[in-house]
Amino acid sequence: MINGKRIVVVLPAYNAARTLEATVRELPDLVDERILVDDHSPDATAEVARRLGLTVHVHERNRGYGGNQKTCYALALEHKADVVVMIHPDYQYSPLLTTAMASMVSSGIYDLALGSRILGGGALRGGMPLYKYISNRALTTFQNFLMGAHLSEYHTGYRAFSRELLEALPLEKNSDDFVFDNQMLAQAIMAGARIGEVSCPTKYFPEASSINFRRSSIYGLGVLKTAVSYRLAKWGIHTDPIFIGGRPLPPRETEAMPSFSDANDGR
Question: Is the confidence at residue 259, as pLDDT, over 60?
Answer: no
Does residue 110 belong to any structural domain of this protein? yes
- Calpha distance 19→212 (Å, rounded): 19
CATH at 45: 3.90.550.10
Does residue 229 belong to any structural domain of this protein? no
Does residue 194 belong to any structural domain of this protein? yes
Q: What is the residue range of 78's domain?
A: 7-130+151-210
Does residue 250 belong to any structural domain of this protein? no
Q: pLDDT tens digits, residue range 226-239?
A: 999 999 999 999 99
What is the pLDDT confidence band of residue 205, given thresholds at 50, 70 and 90? low
Q: pLDDT tens digits, residue range 149-201?
A: 999 999 999 999 999 999 999 999 999 999 999 999 999 999 999 999 999 98
Identify whether the C-beta of residue 40 lies closer than 8 Å to the C-beta of residue 60. yes
Does residue 165 belong to any structural domain of this protein? yes
Region of 130 please: left (phi>0), alpha (psi -120 to 50) or beta.
Answer: alpha
Does residue 86 belong to any structural domain of this protein? yes
Whole-prediction pTM = 0.90
Residue 256's Cβ-count burial label (10 Å; 0-12, 13-18, 19+) is exposed
Does residue 136 belong to any structural domain of this protein? no
- Which stretch of 15-19, 66-70, 260-264 has the lowest confidence by average pLDDT? 260-264
Structure letter (DSSP) for residue 4: T
Closest CA to 153 of 174, 171, 134, 139: 139
Does residue 65 belong to any structural domain of this protein? yes
Closest CA to 76 of 12, 157, 170, 3: 12
Query: What is the count of structural domains for the chain?
Result: 1
